[in-house]
Chains A and B, each alone.
Chain A
Amino acid sequence: MSLLIKGADLAGAGAGDLLVRDGVIVEAGAVSVPADAEVIDADGLVALPGLVDLHTHLREPGREDAETIASGSAAAAVGGYTAVLAMANTSPVTDTAEAAERVAELGQRAGLVDVQPVGAVTKGLAGEELAELGLMARSRARVRVFSDDGRCVADARVMRRALEYVKAFGGVVSQHSQDPRLAGPDACCHEGELSGRLGLPGWPAVAEESIVARDVMLARHTGSRVHVAHASTAGTVEVLRWAKAQGIAVTAEVTPHHLVLTTDLLAGYDPTFKVNPPLRPAEDVEALREALADGTIDAVATDHAPHARHDKEHAFVDAAFGMLGLETALSVVSDVMVRSGRLDWAGVARVMSVSPARIAGLTGHGRPLAVGEPANLTLVDPDATVTIDRQASHSLSRNNPWHGRTLTGAVHGTVLRGRPTVLKGALA
């Protein structure tokens, strides 16, 4: 059995067919239809290497009422993803080889995307002692990305040791950059005029920027790789630009919501828009778009953070942080970056597949759409308009900030190792 994708625009490089057999692209260009082939008519669609999300919260184990690895995998596939990195802040925390292997195994069982566990940097995310980074790296889960996401590795000495240690196995530390001492424990939004008016305790932008600055210097000192998770401020962009110009091994991601949504949305105290790092003012959003377009920011990552309804129905400061993102990321990037001409589809492939896979060390993803390469790919209808409905979700949660918005560009299909997981926007 083979799969023929007919007439797709190959990442913006002109139309062509792709013939897939045994999970591998075996022919490209003008391909005649083999007798046994399942054919996807991709006329008018753009084919991208399968999307890779560097930053997903799947909530299993511990909060399976909000999301399971299976439900999150379904949401990811529908969103065009073929691989996701599952963050470590589950309960229990993914800070051992066994925990990491269990996550990977549940991902394989769901079978819709490759679920690659992220290991905690420190035991229990406590920020004090290194977790068993080496054992996680050498486990069957082959962990390469380590993060205490949700918390910053604030202790410079611990961060230094982590950066040094992961060099042994080509790992990378993904940092939630946020100095906890520069804001109180109740901080819940961007610190600025609006937080002043609303009486909400905020994080100043410098809480993020100072950690990013420190970490790039630590990366230079250790000769290791650091990754800045969910960059959110113009100041962070400036530091990244400087660090990259110095040749320091730093990479960074931005979320779809930080590319569009601004702190003004908090005026009504709607916890749907409560996210960590917080939504920032328009000038930060503009700086992030520019940085993504020019390569200062390497990747788009969703920070998909599902929450049960009752965890959001509290007073704003008490409500949970986070918003959904897997199913809408491609549409948001298409709408804000492609339509405006800031990125072409090859650029989208770079920031949503090629770079994330490279950063995460995933060798089977983010590959060119060429003969001999694994057939992980995403088909996008660039002209489709979608109105986001929070009820129409494969996630178990409904904290969708895009509800009611109409976006241009939608995932049509997803193929994982030659097998369609999504066709015409629905699970295959």
Chain B
Amino acid sequence: MRHLLSMRDLDRDGVLSILDTAASMHDVQRREVKKLPTLRGRTVVNLFFEDSTRTRSSFEIAGKWLSADVINISGKGSSTSKGESLRDTVLTVAAMGVDGLVIRHGASGAAAQVSQWVDAVVVNAGDGTHEHPTQALLDAYTMRQRLGDLEGRHVAIVGDLTHSRVLRSNLICLRTLGARVTVVAPPTLMPSGIATWAATDGFETAYDLDEVLPHVDAVMMLRVQRERMSGGYFPTAREYTVGYGLTRERLARLPEHAVICHPGPMNRGLEIAADAADAAQSLILDQVSAGVAVRMSVLYHLLASSGAGTAEGSVA
């Protein structure tokens, strides 16, 4: 693996290798002195064309704890906003001697395109409504911490599927790990062609959350992007919550052992009730904590030594 652009870049062994390394990194995170010398002398640029405090900070801390020199460049006011092409902008950044480029962009495919233009290792930190692979890895990591091996486990992913990059990466990641996945949303928020997609990739689709919930080991609630509400995807917030929110009543019907995930930021009271977000089964804060360890692992696998595939374990 030269870059991490999509969860399709990793096979099962590759995912497990990253998750296992993340566990070691998680231990480091609990030490008093958190720094490892692994990426000393390496430069990682977080090139964020789209705001994201959570993901950017997570990558920044991950890079710094591995002793890399980390530079943050915000897309706001960048050259592309002044009319420069994306290619020229990233070539300019890369020409400064960058080893790793962590890119967040509002356009699907941007990270993949950038990887064709630069020599640096590229990590996709979220591209439009396409993918967010490190989010999927940290979700899998968090679920495994609580549930153990995900093979055969049943995960429901609920909410605005159409506009969710978290969905697309999680689908691949969870299926790679052998989990059973059901996606739940009103038909207007199902991605186009999902029936064919589901048949090919072996997941299920449902419109009725109440039929699915009693049978899951994990439920992942996706954020309703409020700006979508004016697009006529559903009539009102109230109707959405009644149909697809993880309400207090639904929480009570969730199997006792089942866990709750949410990639954040949450709309409390809309897709997830406060009771559910703060419940004992909720892994939402664990997800955030795991984010740093998983991103350390990813940077380690991609950038340690000569770069590709030098870490222990097998990476596709």
Contact = CB atoms under 8 A, between A and B. Distances in A.
A199 B162 CA distance: 8
A197 B109 contact: no
A195 B193 contact: yes
A316 interface: yes
Contact of B113 (A184, A201, A269): A269
A193 B192 contact: yes
Interface string A21-58: 00000000000000000000000000000000000000
Interface residues on chain A, size class: 20 to 34
A313 interface: yes
Contact of B193 (A196, A268, A317): A196
Interface residues of B, number: 28
A204 interface: yes
Interface string B115-143: 00000000000011111000000000000
B77 interface: no
Contact of B192 (A192, A310, A311): A192
Interface in A150-202: 184, 191-202
Contact of A191 (B127, B192, B231): B192
Name, among A195, A196, A318, the residue most crowded by chain B CB atoms within 10 Å (CB to CB): A196
B53 interface: no
Given A191-B192, A196-B194, A315 B107 contact: yes
A314 interface: yes
A63 to B, nearest CB: 14
A198 B5 CA distance: 12
Contacts of B86: 313-315, 318
A192 B191 CA distance: 8
A310 B88 contact: yes
Contacts of B112: 268-269
Contact of A316 (B88, B109, B162, B194): B109
Contact of B128 (A202, A204, A314, A317): A317
A318 B131 CA distance: 18
Given A204-B192, A269-B108, A315 B113 contact: yes
A198 B108 contact: yes
Contacts of B130: 198-200
A150 to B, nearest CB: 20
A196 B108 contact: no
Given A316-B107, A316-B108, A193 B197 contact: yes
Interface in B38-82: 80
A298 B192 CA distance: 32
Contacts of A269: 108-109, 112-113
Contact of A200 (B105, B108, B131, B196): B108
Interface string B98-111: 00000001111110
Interface string A269-312: 10000000000000000000000000000000000000000110
A316 B197 CA distance: 22
A194 B108 contact: no
B24 to A, nearest CB: 32
A314 B197 CA distance: 28
A318 B192 contact: no
A317 B85 contact: no
Contacts of A318: 86, 107
B34 interface: no
Nearest to A281: B193
Nearest to A318: B107
A310 B85 contact: yes
A26 to B, nearest CB: 54
A53 B191 CA distance: 38
A315 B129 CA distance: 13
Interface string A310-346: 1101111110000000000000000000000000000
Interface in B175-196: 191-194, 196
Contacts of A201: 129
B168 interface: yes
Contacts of B80: 314
A48 B106 CA distance: 49
Nearest to A202: B192
A316 B113 contact: yes
A199 B192 contact: no
Nearest to B201: A197
Given A310-B85, A314-B85, A199 B231 contact: no
Interface in B200-237: 231
B107 A192 contact: no
B166 to A, nearest CB: 11
Interface string A234-272: 000000000000000000000000000000000011000
B87 interface: yes
A197 B231 CA distance: 21
Given A184-B231, A199-B130, A317 B191 contact: no
Given A192-B192, A197-B197, A310-B85, A315 B110 contact: yes
A195 B113 contact: no
Nearest to A193: B193
Contacts of B110: 315-316
B165 interface: yes
Nearest to A195: B192
Contacts of B127: 199
Contacts of A196: 162, 191-194, 197
B128 A199 contact: yes
A315 B105 contact: yes
A268 B130 CA distance: 12
Contacts of B85: 310-311, 313-314
Interface string A375-419: 000000000000000000000000000000000000000000000
Top 8 A-B pairs, shortest CB-CB distance: A193-B193, A269-B109, A315-B107, A196-B191, A199-B130, A199-B129, A313-B87, A199-B108
Interface of A: 184, 191-202, 204, 268-269, 310-311, 313-318
13 contacts: A194-B193, A196-B162, A197-B197, A198-B109, A198-B130, A199-B127, A269-B112, A313-B87, A315-B86, A315-B105, A315-B110, A316-B113, A317-B109
Given A315-B86, A315-B108, 5 more contacts: A197-B197, A199-B127, A313-B86, A313-B88, A318-B107
